[in-house]
């Protein structure tokens, strides 16, 4: 019987750290401090340094990282309810939910048909007198064109909030997601399946804006900067000590883990040749794309259901990211009507299929995935 190849073997990824995790669990229990302690402080310092930013604020999850940043910026810059935020038409729903929860209006911006990221050539056309920010999403682990986005933001005095939930360690022109050079903020998720994943939920914001970092930290702690003194109407959104301790150890291996993903991605890009499959990048520009951390390796096909079933029958698990486009999500139906069409988002939602990729995926399993895909016929 063939080995089953999981889309992502989270258990195997975490087993590499089990001895260390056991020791950290004991340390946290013995300390009696499970929130707002030294482990969280040290992780925030180490992750800020990893991203080349001045500050990191740990929060409960990636959605809160986006939402609390927007809410803080709204307060500090005196944005008004309903002000507009540009977001890509193709992204996970959390990007748009964060905007709506902050009392702001998401404006869907086109993504490129070649890299599935914000089409910077069309951004300026969407900017109005009420536009306040751009949220580039570093989808699938590849950073958006931050140089062009930053230039546009400076020209129109807009805030840039990177949705870096899939881009821990990714780079653009040698600068990291969240790097101080981008002069904004970046929101990260530590959901267990991420390249840097906790053993539960977790998230963080990195920025080099001291006032913004302080406001996010205050809002995330019941609006309090001093115990029992609540200046702001805040929430409870904190990264706990145990998750911070786990993440510190995994952060030390993140660069190596990302490099393993790049090795697998290079094999997919150079060895897959099935005419019924479209690869995310051409073989001509592979090396340029290796700054991606390949959180997801997407392929595209007009025969997705048949291909997914074929792979399943051969013991290979795949996922779809994301089958329902943002503008067709029921919870956001008040924002868009049937007249709103986003053809690239709809095409990607209909044809995308994500292949297994992770630091624990064996060479033999990669070979099996490639051979099985190349054997697929319609």
Cα-based torsion angle of the residue sequence 263, 265, 266, 270 in order, rounded to the nearest 10 degrees = 140
Whole-number pLDDT of residue 371: 98
Q: Which residues contact 365 (CB under 8 A, 6 or more apart)?
A: 3, 5, 356
> What DSSP assignment string belongs to 326-374?
GGG-GGGTTT--TT---HHHHHHHHHEEEEP--TT--HHHHHHHHHHHH
For residue 375, what are its two tokens?
Answer: 């054997």
Q: Which domains does the chain have, with CATH numbers?
A: 11-251 (3.40.640.10), 253-374 (3.90.1150.10)
Q: Which residues contact 332 (CB under 8 A, 6 or more apart)?
A: 93, 96, 100, 326
* 118-122 CB contacts, 8 Å cutoff, 24+ apart: 118/88, 118/144, 118/145, 118/149, 120/144, 120/145, 120/148, 120/149, 120/152
Cβ neighbourhood burial of 179 (10 Å; 0-12, 13-18, 19+): buried
Phi then psi dihedrals of residue 108, to 5 deg: -75, 125
Cα-based torsion angle of the residue sequence 164, 97, 323, 121 in order, rounded to the nearest 10 degrees = -60
Phi then psi dihedrals of residue 46, to 5 deg: -70, -40
Cβ neighbourhood burial of 350 (10 Å; 0-12, 13-18, 19+): middle
Q: Which residues contact 249 (CB under 8 A, 6 or more apart)?
A: 17, 20, 21, 24
CA distance 67 to 84: 14
Number of H helices, E strands in the chain: 13, 13
CA distance 290 to 281: 11
Whole-number pLDDT of residue 34: 85
CA distance 304 to 301: 6
**pLDDT tens-place string over residues 170-192:** 999 999 999 999 999 999 999 99
Short-list 252, 284, 356, CA closest to 8: 356
Q: Which residues contact 118 (CB under 8 A, 6 or more apart)?
A: 88, 109, 110, 111, 112, 134, 136, 137, 144, 145, 149
From first to last of the 378 residues of the chain, give the pLDDT tens digit: 568 999 999 999 999 999 999 999 998 989 988 888 999 999 999 999 999 999 999 999 999 999 999 999 999 999 999 999 999 999 999 999 999 999 999 999 999 988 899 999 999 999 999 999 999 999 999 999 999 999 999 999 999 999 999 999 999 999 999 999 999 999 999 999 999 999 999 999 999 999 999 999 999 999 998 888 999 999 999 999 999 999 999 999 999 999 999 999 999 999 999 999 999 987 656 666 669 999 999 999 999 999 999 999 999 999 999 999 999 999 999 998 777 789 999 999 999 999 999 999 999 999 999 999 999 999
Whole-number pLDDT of residue 290: 67
**pLDDT tens-place string over residues 270-326:** 999 999 999 998 765 666 666 999 999 999 999 999 999 999 999 999 999 999 999
Short-list 116, 121, 91, CA closest to 106: 91
Length of the chain: 378
| HEC sequence for 6-57 | CCCCHHHHHHCCHHHHHHHHHHHHHHCCCECCHHHHHHHHHHHHHHCCCEEE
CA distance 63 to 50: 21
CA distance 40 to 295: 24
CA distance 225 to 267: 50
Give the Cβ contact number of residue 82 at 10 Å.
9
């Amino acid at each position: 019987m063939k080995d089953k190849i999981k889309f992502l073997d989270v258990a195997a990824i975490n087993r590499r750290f089990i001895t260390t995790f056991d020791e950290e669990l004991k340390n946290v229990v013995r300390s009696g401090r499970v929130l707002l302690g030294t482990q969280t402080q040290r992780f925030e310092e180490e992750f800020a340094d990893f991203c080349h930013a001045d500050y990191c604020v740990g929060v409960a999850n990636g959605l809160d990282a986006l939402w609390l940043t927007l809410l803080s910026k709204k307060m500090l810059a005196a944005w008004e309810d309903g002000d507009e935020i540009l977001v890509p038409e193709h992204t996970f729903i959390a990007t748009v939910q964060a905007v709506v929860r902050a009392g702001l209006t998401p404006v869907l911006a086109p993504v490129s048909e070649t890299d599935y990221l914000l089409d910077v050539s069309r951004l300026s056309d969407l900017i109005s007198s009420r536009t306040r920010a751009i949220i580039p999403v570093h989808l699938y682990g590849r950073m958006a064109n931050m140089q062009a986005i930053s230039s546009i933001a400076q020209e129109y005095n807009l805030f840039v909030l990177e949705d870096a939930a899939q881009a821990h360690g990714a780079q653009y022109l040698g600068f990291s997601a969240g790097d101080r050079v981008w002069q904004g903020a970046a929101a990260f998720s530590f959901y267990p399946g991420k390249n840097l994943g906790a053993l539960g939920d977790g998230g963080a914001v990195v920025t080099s804006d001291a006032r913004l970092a302080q406001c996010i930290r205050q809002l995330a702690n019941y609006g309090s900067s001093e115990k029992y003194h609540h200046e702001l109407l805040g929430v409870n959104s904190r990264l706990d000590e145990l998750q911070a301790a786990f993440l510190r150890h995994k952060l030390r291996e993140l660069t190596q883990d990302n490099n393993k993903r790049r090795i697998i991605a290079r094999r997919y890009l150079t060895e897959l040749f099935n005419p019924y499959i479209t690869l995310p990048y051409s073989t001509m520009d592979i090396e340029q794309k290796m700054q991606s951390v390949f959180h997801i390796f997407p392929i595209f096909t007009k025969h997705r259901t048949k291909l997914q079933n074929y792979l399943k029958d051969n013991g290979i698990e795949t996922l779809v990211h994301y089958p329902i486009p943002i503008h067709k999500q029921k919870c956001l139906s008040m924002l868009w009507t049937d007249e709103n069409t986003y053809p690239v988002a709809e095409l990607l939602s209909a044809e995308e299929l994500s292949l297994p990729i992770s630091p624990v995926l064996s060479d033999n399993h990669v070979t099996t995935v490639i051979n099985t895909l190349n054997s697929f016929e319609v």
